[in-house]
Amino acid sequence: MAITPDGARAYVTNYYGNSVSVIDTTTTTNTVTDIIAVGANPYGVAITPDGARAYVTNQNSRSVSVIDTATNTVVDVIAVGASPSGVAISPDGARAYVTNQFGNSVSMIDTITNTAVLTTIVAGENPLGVAISPDGACAYVTNQNSRSVSVIDTITNDIVAIIAVGASPSGVAISPDGTHAYVTNQNNGSVSVIDTITNTALPTTIVVGANPFGVAFTPDGVRAYVTNYYGNSLSVITTANNTVTTTAIVVGAYPFGVAITPDGARAYVTNWGSNVVSVIAIEQALTLT
């Protein structure tokens, strides 16, 4: 899922519904205001920095749907590789990077022309998650079956580093100051922390809940939120010392993605097993132990 830069709407992919739900986050009821038909089995979604477009990966259509957020209509469909999954947009909004999970590759989309201008960036085995550094210089890609993260130079589109992490790395997020990348290791129940200056993983991982998948930072970078897929919970990491503050935030069944509003007030969690989105008031949640 993804939240618009103004914090007014959340876009949620419905994998088995071949659609995207739009939630009005400005109301206390968090009402679904639109359901947009897209391709087969939509998985990832990212919104441009200006909030004008949402890019949705359709795993079984080998495509990306482009949604005009003003009208909530699909205005383009872009062919990419096999089983497109993760998607991230550069800070200048000019490019989108898409992981092709079963194609072992990454597609780069020119968002001006909405064409895939490159689909040959070779990642590791089963690339899944992707995040771009705040300065736009590098894209970080998790390779699920290679226990690694590939670092792509976005100027040359070459892989400049491969970083060993835990078993089945899935989600990845980069701290707002750009100094660290957090990677969820599904089969280790842990989070690896990468120093993005040296592109090396810190020697100690952070133990969280069962099968961690999604990860997101608060806008101030003070905390990171991790969904525990088999734990039906969220873990909260204090980033200053990489310690877990709580794992007592209970959400729905099989929590998957997580996004935090730009004001840092709420976290939105998609729950794969219960077809609902959990909304967490962050300050209240931090009182849990």
d(CA 283, CA 177) in angstroms, rounded, equals 22
Q: What is the pLDDT of residue 28?
A: 85
Measured CA to CA, the distance from residue 245 to residue 287 in angstroms comes to 10
Q: Is 284 helix (H, G, I), strand (E, B) or coil?
A: helix
Point out the residues of the chain with pLDDT beneath 70.
284-289
Exposure b/e, 204-238, CB count within 10 A at least 16 = b: ebbebbebbbbbbbbeebebbbbbbbbbbbbbbbe
* Residue at 120 is within a domain: no
CB 5 within 8 Å of CB 11:
no
Q: Which DSSP helix (H) or strand (E) runs through 285?
A: helix 282-285
Residue 251's domain is classified under what CATH number?
2.40.10.500
Q: Please report whether residue 113 resides in a domain.
A: no
User: Is residue 73, in this structure, part of any structural domain at all?
Assistant: no
Question: Which pLDDT does position 285 carry in this prediction?
Answer: 61
Taken as a whole, the chain contains a residue count of 289
In a domain, 47, yes or no: no
pLDDT at position 288 is: 52
The per-residue pLDDT for 220 is 97
Residue 286 lies in a domain: yes
CA dihedral defined by 63, 68, 73, 76, rounded to 10 degrees?
A: -30
Give me the numbers of helices (H) and strands (E) for the chain, helices first please.
Answer: 1, 28
Range of the domain at 287: 208-289
Query: Cα(171)–Cα(168) distance, rounded to whole angstroms?
Result: 10
- Domain assignment present for residue 238? The answer is yes
Specify the number of domains making up the chain: 1
pLDDT score of 289: 46
Instruction: Confirm whether 82 is domain-assigned.
Output: no
- Residue 260 in any domain: the answer is yes
User: What is the pLDDT at residue 287?
Assistant: 57
